[in-house]
Amino acid sequence: MQFRVLSAFIIFIGSYLPLALILAVQDIPMSWWSRSFCDFSDIKQCLYNPFNSPYLSIIFIVVTCISVVVSNLSLKKISFPFDAQVESSKTIPNDIINYVFPYVVSFMGMSYETPENLLGFSVFLFWMFAITYKSGQIIMNPLLLMFGWRLYEAKININGQSRDVRILKKGHLTPGNYKVQTIQDFYIARGINE
């Protein structure tokens, strides 16, 4: 099974929620932090919008939050047509280097105030998505760790054939019987009774 481009893009964008939060915090001027939030005696003077570029900050946060929710719902709706027996497994570290670089970039002078930098960063994210999608690595999303998903290297048996594969499973993967689905270069597993 292969992710559709739109589904893959949603999963990819959802993984950048931490970056959206970092950029939003950087978009708040230092002078705002020293002000009182609200004086209830003069409610009309309350400061609800701390951002220099509120539309961009809020849109990026909302889009990435929605992408995270849709990603989780999509993973719950996957069908598991194959039976597999896991003979052995070990966790493998998540390849987060692809996601670390954009966070480093965010601390190197990028802001919503400079449209040319944003345009360049958008092109960079597009190419990151294309490379990640074409290489079959879209499922290696570090944000999935926050929701209890783990990546394993496992020896499995499907229809009498033994193979070494990478499996994504919510929770622990212990030897036993599972229902599985292939997505790009990975298997996604769930317990028989889940």
- The domain limits of the chain are 1-77+96-136, 79-94+148-194
DSSP-derived pairing of the beta strands 82-91 and 161-170:
unpaired
Fold for the domain defined by 79-94+148-194? OB fold (Dihydrolipoamide Acetyltransferase, E2P) (2.40.50)
Query: For residue 32, what pLDDT is reported?
Result: 79
Query: For residue 190, what pLDDT is reported?
Result: 93
Calculate the average pLDDT of the chain: 84
Higher pLDDT residue, 184 or 63? Answer: 63
Closest Cα partner for 190 from 76, 114, 110?
76
Closest Cα partner for 56 from 114, 121, 112?
112
- 189 beta partners: 169, 180
Query: For residue 19, what pLDDT is reported?
Result: 85
Tens digit of pLDDT for each residue in 88-142? 999 887 555 555 666 566 556 677 888 888 888 888 889 889 988 888 778 777 7
